[in-house]
Structures are given as C-alpha cells and as structure tokens.
Structure 1
Amino acid sequence: MPVARVLGLALVAVLAFGGSAAGLAAVRLNGNVERVDDISHLVAAPSASATEPPPPGDSWAGQPLRFVVMGSDDRTGVNADIGGADEGMRSDTTMIVQVSADRTRVEVVSIPRDSYVRIPACHLDRDPAGPMSNPRSAKFNAAFAIGADTGDVGLAAACTLSTIAENTGLSMTEFLLVDFAGFQGMVDAIGGVRVCVPRAIRDTEGNTELDLAAGWHDLAGQQALDYVRARYVTGSDNSDTQRIPRQQKFVGAMTRKILSAEVLTSPRSVYGFLDAATRSLTASDQLGAPDNLVGLALSLRELQPSAVTFATVPNGTSGKNLVWTPDADLVWQRLLLDLPLVDPATPVVPDGGTGAGTGEQTDDATGTPDGGAVGPDAGAGAPDDGTGQAPPDAGTGAEPPVPAPEVTTQSGVDPDDPMCG
C-alpha cells in the first residue's frame, strides 16, 4: 500500500477516535496529572550568555568604508620579548583597505615604507592650536615616527593619515594599529594560518628565525611574525617591496581561514574571534567600537576570497629613491570612485608589488634620500570629501570613468597553492 495512503488512513482513524472519545480521555488525563499553582513568575529569564545576541548593524552600510592598517614595530613591554628591545616606534607596514559599498569587494593597497613622499606639518600634541612639525620630503614611514616620538600613537596615526591624504587625495580618519603581540594574537585566535611556500626561504641576516623549506606550512605565533617581517631573505634584493607580496599572501590566507572556519556566521562567533584577536590592537574611535566591528564583519559574510584584491602602489626608482609612478594616481581615483582596481575582464596577475626596489634603501625612519624625484603629485583628481562615497555619476557609463592602472595584483586565492600539491 502506498505510504501516502497508509498515512491518510492513520490520520482519519486518529481524528475519528478523537471525535468520539475526547470527553472520556480528558476525564482520565485530568485525573492522572497532579497540577501545581502557576509558577511563571518564579522562572528566571534566559541569561544573556544563553541567548544569541541580536546582530548589530553595519554602521557604514550603503557606503564604501576606507581605513588604514599599520603594523608597528614597537619594542617595549611584551613586544620587546617578541621582537627584541629597542627604543622608538616605527611603522614597517601600511595598507589602505577599502570595502566596497555593496560589501562584495575589498581592495588592499600596500604603501612601501621607503616611498619618498611629501609629509605635511603634523600635530605634536592633542591641542589643535598646539605645536606642529615642519613639512618635509622623506620616506613614508617617517610620518609615523614623527607622531610616535611624542609617545602618542594617536598622533603617529594622525600624521600617517595626513601624509596619505597629502599624497593621494584620499581622506581617512579610521585606522587599525597592530603591534607584534597583536599580530600573533590574531593569528593564534584562528588556530594559525596555512601557507604554501613555493621555494625555500631563509633569513640571511639572522634578524628573525625564518627558515622554511618549500611546501605547506602551518604558521602561528613567532614563526608567523617572522614570515611577514623578514626583509633580508634568500633569493631577494633585500628591499622593502620584496616582502610586501609575502605579507599580502599571508593576509589572504588569513582571510580564507576566517571565511572557511565560518567565523562570520553568527554574532556570538564573531564576538569570540574579535575578543581574542583584538586584545593587542589599537584602533580609531569608530572602527574600534565592538558593535561597529561586529556589524562590519557580519556584513562581509558572503565575501569570497577571490573578491579580495591586493596591490602595491605602482612604483619605480629615481636614483636611490623609491617613487610612485603616474599609475598610482589612477589607483587613488579608482578607490575614490569605489571601482575595482582591476577591470573584471582583466586577468589577475599572481604576484605582489610592481617596483622591485634597489636594495640600497636604508632602514632609518627619518632619513631623506640623496636627491632624486619627490613623490607623486597629490590628489590626482578631485580630493576626497571624507565621506567615502563615490560621485553620483561614477560608473554609470559603459566605460569606467577612470582607466584601470597598470598595477600588479593578487587575489585572496593564492596562485602558489597548486605548487605545493
């Protein structure tokens, strides 16, 4: 007998019995059950920890969000145990991160620390009418050092953001500052990161303990930090630009790990991850607010690793100086208009930054290069109004309003992975 017919007959039988015997059943059941007075007023409400918190909203919904991530080599406190004690604080890594208004793309543009740029006058204390530094032309990471020398990381970030605005026309006030301990905390919070090392790599100067054979490696803690920090390594020209692709590769692997582990599936899991990952982070007031971070993270739940694009400011050399090429202006204009760095029809090249550097750049944070060209003209195109919103007519025509720059990019999907099998 067909299953559907059996179920149908059973349902009819139950209904028939219920109709004829309901009164008798009610009497019997009423006698079977011992009842107590209402206790609803004595039952506690669910605790906050036992219920899923309501998901916070995206505070920047409907508009692009642009912020700066800076890696600090602060050598005080716990960081001295990790990277060795030293005075002062510099920023060896700077990335401009832009999340598209529709939350389907993320562009990450690395700025080489040795880029020769214009550094405007920067505040030396929190008083807007207080003392200012002298404007100068110097290496990019001198901007961070100017503020850091005051002992105020907020002033270090402010001078960095002012320098970015001066040279790109992009206005930003949001930032994340990651020190050694913070980086390790983020990596360890997701159980380490698996990366493919296509060729053996070793620190040739002994500044770190990096020494990895070719193949897959699960990196965490100090080893992960050494992987992104090491500058003088086998097979490189020892310039700052040659380690940027390695840093971008690692961040891409972190992105894949977070998405694959379903960290972003619920407010509870996001809060847990951020709690562990942000204990040693410094952030701007709005971006650092927990609900804002969680709301933004949840808005990126559907983001695909292939939609995360990494690039380095197009650059070359002039004498011993690393300078930005005219294509850098196109990068800034594309970000301003919330356009992808690479047109969809353009294949993504599996590599890092464009300029290879000279290997002759010094490590000092404030030294001015010997002659050579000054950085690019600031603000190619209209300056950003600070809202992060594209002009009303941006991207409405068949052709992009700004051509795609000649820039080497890589996505969050590592093209080296097949080499490790």
Structure 2
Amino acid sequence: MLGLGLVAVLAFGGSAAGLAAVRLNGNVERVDDISHLVAAPSASATEPPPPGDSWAGQPVRFVVLGSDDRTGVNADIGGADEGMRSDTTMIVQVSADRTRVEVVSIPRDSYVRIPACHLDRDPEGPMSRPHSAKFNAAFALGADTGDVGLAAACTLSTIAENTGLSMTEFLLVDFAGFQGMVDAIGGVRVCVPRAIRDTEGNTELDLAAGWHDLVGQQALDYVRARYVTGSDNSDTQRIPRQQKFVGAMSRKILSAEVLTSPRSVYGFLDAATRSLTASDQLGAPDNLVGLALSLRELQPSAVTFATVPNGTSGKNLVWTPDADLVWQRLQLDLPLVDPATPVVPGDGAAAGTGEEADAVTGTPDGGAVAPDAGAGAPDDGTRQTPPDAGTGAEPPVPAPEVTTQSAVDPDDPMCG
C-alpha cells in the first residue's frame, strides 16, 4: 500500500536535498573563492551516476502487505492480541514502459486454495497441508512460525496458486509504520462525501461529511474501520476507502507541499525505512532508487486501483470469472480497463460484492472458487508489453467488468 509512496519520495529526494542546501546557505560564513587553488578530482573519485532501473524494459510486480501485528508498540496502537494476520493485500504492477501503475486489492475473506507452504527455511523441511480457506489465513500460517518471511512466502504462493501470477517481491508495513509515514508528510487530506462512524467502537473513527486532514491514529482508524455507518460491514466495503487514502497519499507526496519541504521528505524516508520489511531484491537501495527514478514522469491519473471481481457462494466470498481476465491482463502488461472505459468512483462496494456469483465450482475439499481462477501458466513478472498494446488493435484479452478508481479522487468535487 505504501510502497508507491516510498518510491515516489525516493524519486524526488534529490531535489529536496538541493532545496535544503539553499535554505541553509545563509547560515554559513563564506570566504573568497578558492576554486583555482584546488586540484581537480581524479576520475576514480568522481561521484557515481544515479543507479539505473534494474528492471528496465520489464513490468515490475510486487505485493504490498499491511500487517495487523499486535505486539510491542503495535499493541498500544491497535490493542494487544495474539498472532499476526494481513488485513490488506495489494498486487502492484508497474508497466514496462513506466507510464502506468495497476493496484489490485485482494479481499482478506476471499475463499481460495492455499497450497502447501514451508514451515521453516529448509527447502526440504516440513510443509503445511494444502487446503481451502480465507485468503489471509495464508499469511497467518507462515506468521505462526514467528518468521515474517515465511508469512510472505505463503501469501505469494497462494497468489500464484489462484492467479497464475508468479512473484517473489513484497513490502510489509505494520500499524506503527503506517502512522509514522502519514505523520512524516504532515497528514493526508481526504474528502469524506458522507459522514462515517465506527458503529462497533473498535476504532475512534467518527468523521462528518467534508474535507479532513487525517494524521496518526485517525488516519489508521480511517483505513482499518470495518463496521461503519452506511456499509454492510464487509472487508470489500472497506477496500475502496483504503484505496482512496493511498491515492490521496500519493498525490500529497507528489505535490509541491512535500517535495519542497526537506523535513517532510526526509521524515517520510526515515519512517519508511524504520517500518518497512521488504524482500531482498525490492528492498535493495539501488534497485528501489533506480525504479523510483524511472517513475518521475508518472501521473496520478495513471495509477489505477481495483478490487478482484467477486461475489458470494453460500457464505463464502469467491472470485467471479472476470477475476481471471484481471490476472491475464496483468500477465500481458495490459491496462486493467481499456482507455475508453470510464473510471468509476470507488467509495462504495467493489464490483461484484454482495451478489451471488454467476458460476463457481467446488474444490475437492468442498471449497468454492471461481472457475478457471488463475488459468494459464504462471509467469515471472517480466513479460514485455505486447506489440499491439495501446495501438488501437483489439487486445488479446478482453477487459474485465471491474470497478476502478485512479489516484485522482472522483469524490473530491462533492466536498467543494
């Protein structure tokens, strides 16, 4: 969720550093120019160029996980509890040409097939039993070992099992990390088109309609609260609110308000590096900075959020056949929706939520999943954009029926 924000700040951190130097210039006593007295540096001593994009020419795909770990400082924020689960899962894909970012949320209650997962770091060691369960059980299965890497690995394996998308890169952020990053940029301004209140008292969320500058605990309550007025209390109704917040955060980070404030930029970077757990390749500084620099021209309107198309089968939340089209479009590095498809405001339920799924099939152990979910061989996340992509030719995979919203919030005009 916050991976996009970190990438954006890293991309512009250099310009903020330059502005900081200008600001401090007046505090320094200066002497006459001595440049003619100083020898030129040797070639080996010159500053190296900025890192390049390690994935240049390839789509970059990773998973952002929001953890509800309730130990240590997180217990003070969210309340003490045992175990660790992932309340938020977003698949993030940066297009090969670096002009688009697709973010697909997976509802935590999705009923999916969880494959055998490693229970320790030994490749020949014990593994769990394959079974069907709610999606976030995969993270908990690995987390119960006390190894967050195994939690991420089981989540990534479950995504591969049900979508055909192969990934090994991830970012994980907890409650404290989320608050720290929001506070570091001075809060996030969001439009609340209708009053919203936590009806169960699990959080202190209580916002009137209108604009709100959310910081710290209030920002966390806004994205966490599930039982709120005007909703069916499902995770799928919470997801569009989370996407709205991430979009607003992305716009704030890309704005002059943050980019011209070294304190905000450096504060965000400090909070991010303290609170993020990342996979080996994505977390390598040169790789992350190189990717960030490749996204300097990215526009907020080119960041598209969606939720896996879903419905119900009995008491289970399952993915509909359109989910398969989402995964195929990502495999081919195509936009989720065709350019002519209007972006739909996402303040309500995600597409397909709450309705009986048209067609589901039973798994051997009685679970229900959408037919052919994840059809096609897994790819490695490095496929090139097809030659006819964006040229007006008929796309090889039709666009799914899916509700989307961009980082440009369509609700903003409702708040004046």
**TM tier, shorter chain?**
0.7 to 0.9
> Distance in 1 between the 2:235 and 2:5 partners?
77
1:231 pairs, out of 218, 226, 233, with 226
State the 1:44 CA deviation. 10
Q: Call closer, same or farther: CA 1:395–1:120 in 2, change over 3 Å.
A: farther
Q: Call closer, same or farther: CA 1:44–1:374 in 2, change over 3 Å.
A: same
> Distance in 1 between the 2:2 and 2:137 partners?
79
2:305 pairs, out of 295, 303, 310, with 310
Which deviates the most, 283-292 or 36-45?
36-45
Q: Which residue of 1 aligns with 2:210?
A: 215
Q: Call closer, same or farther: CA 1:409–1:51 in 2, change over 3 Å.
A: farther
CA contact (8 A) 1:147 1:159 kept: yes
Q: Call closer, same or farther: CA 1:84–1:388 in 2, change over 3 Å.
A: farther
Q: Call closer, same or farther: CA 1:274–1:18 in 2, change over 3 Å.
A: closer
Which deviates the most, 28-37 or 125-134?
28-37
> Distance in 2 between the 1:12 and 1:371 partners?
42
State the 1:379 CA deviation. 2.4
Q: Secondary structure at the match of 1:285?
A: coil
* Long gaps (5+) in structure 1: 1-5
CA contact (8 A) 2:177 2:271 kept: no
Q: Call closer, same or farther: CA 1:220–1:44 in 2, change over 3 Å.
A: farther
Q: Call closer, same or farther: CA 1:139–1:375 in 2, change over 3 Å.
A: farther
Q: Call closer, same or farther: CA 1:176–1:385 in 2, change over 3 Å.
A: closer
> Distance in 1 between the 2:221 and 2:396 partners?
41
> Distance in 1 between the 2:2 and 2:400 partners?
67
1:255 pairs, out of 250, 254, 260, with 250
Which deviates the most, 400-409 or 48-57?
48-57
CA contact (8 A) 1:171 1:385 kept: yes
The superposition leaves residues 143-168 of structure 1 with CA deviations (integer Å, 9 ceiling, x where unpaired) of 00100000000000000000000000
> Distance in 1 between the 2:4 and 2:83 partners?
84
> Distance in 1 between the 2:208 and 2:191 partners?
10
Q: Call closer, same or farther: CA 1:414–1:128 in 2, change over 3 Å.
A: same
Say which structure, 1 or 2, has more relative contact order (CA 8 Å, 6+ apart): 2
State the 1:34 CA deviation. 22
Q: Call closer, same or farther: CA 1:132–1:216 in 2, change over 3 Å.
A: same
> Distance in 2 between the 1:276 and 1:225 partners?
15
> Distance in 2 between the 1:346 and 1:52 partners?
47
1:11-410 matches, within 5 Å, as: 54-261=49-256, 273-351=268-346, 373-390=368-385, 398-410=393-405
State the 1:39 CA deviation. 8.5
* Long gaps (5+) in structure 2: none
> Distance in 2 between the 1:118 and 1:310 partners?
24
State the 1:271 CA deviation. 6.5
CA contact (8 A) 2:59 2:95 kept: yes
State the 1:57 CA deviation. 1.9
State the 1:89 CA deviation. 0.1
State the 1:260 CA deviation. 1.0
CA contact (8 A) 2:119 2:126 kept: yes
State the 1:341 CA deviation. 0.4
Q: Secondary structure at the match of 2:102?
A: strand
State the 1:365 CA deviation. 22
CA contact (8 A) 1:139 1:367 kept: no
CA contact (8 A) 1:263 1:273 kept: no
CA contact (8 A) 1:267 1:298 kept: no
Q: Call closer, same or farther: CA 1:296–1:17 in 2, change over 3 Å.
A: closer
State the 1:272 CA deviation. 6.1
Q: Call closer, same or farther: CA 1:368–1:249 in 2, change over 3 Å.
A: farther
The superposition leaves residues 24-43 of structure 1 with CA deviations (integer Å, 9 ceiling, x where unpaired) of 99999999999999988996
Query: How many residues align structurally?
Result: 416
Q: Call closer, same or farther: CA 1:243–1:364 in 2, change over 3 Å.
A: farther
CA contact (8 A) 1:199 1:214 kept: yes
CA contact (8 A) 1:265 1:301 kept: no
CA contact (8 A) 2:313 2:357 kept: no
Q: Secondary structure at the match of 2:2?
A: helix
CA contact (8 A) 2:362 2:369 kept: no
State the 1:297 CA deviation. 1.8
> Distance in 1 between the 2:46 and 2:293 partners?
18
Q: Call closer, same or farther: CA 1:413–1:328 in 2, change over 3 Å.
A: same
> Distance in 2 between the 1:244 and 1:7 partners?
14
State the 1:213 CA deviation. 0.7
Q: Call closer, same or farther: CA 1:405–1:352 in 2, change over 3 Å.
A: farther
Tell me how large the CA RMSD over aligned residues is: 12.6
CA contact (8 A) 2:178 2:220 kept: yes
> Distance in 2 between the 1:17 and 1:114 partners?
37
Which deviates the most, 10-19 or 41-50?
10-19
The superposition leaves residues 81-104 of structure 1 with CA deviations (integer Å, 9 ceiling, x where unpaired) of 111111100001100000111111
Which deviates the most, 148-157 or 396-405?
396-405
> Distance in 2 between the 1:278 and 1:21 partners?
18
Which deviates the most, 324-333 or 30-39?
30-39
CA contact (8 A) 1:185 1:279 kept: no
Which deviates the most, 251-260 or 35-44?
35-44
CA contact (8 A) 1:259 1:301 kept: no
The superposition leaves residues 366-406 of structure 1 with CA deviations (integer Å, 9 ceiling, x where unpaired) of 99999662355342234213434456776777101110000
> Distance in 1 between the 2:32 and 2:150 partners?
65
Q: Which has the larger radius of gyration?
A: 1
Q: TM-score, normalised by structure 2?
A: 0.83
The superposition leaves residues 177-199 of structure 1 with CA deviations (integer Å, 9 ceiling, x where unpaired) of 01001111221121110000011
State the 1:273 CA deviation. 3.7
CA contact (8 A) 2:83 2:144 kept: yes
> Distance in 2 between the 1:188 and 1:413 partners?
21
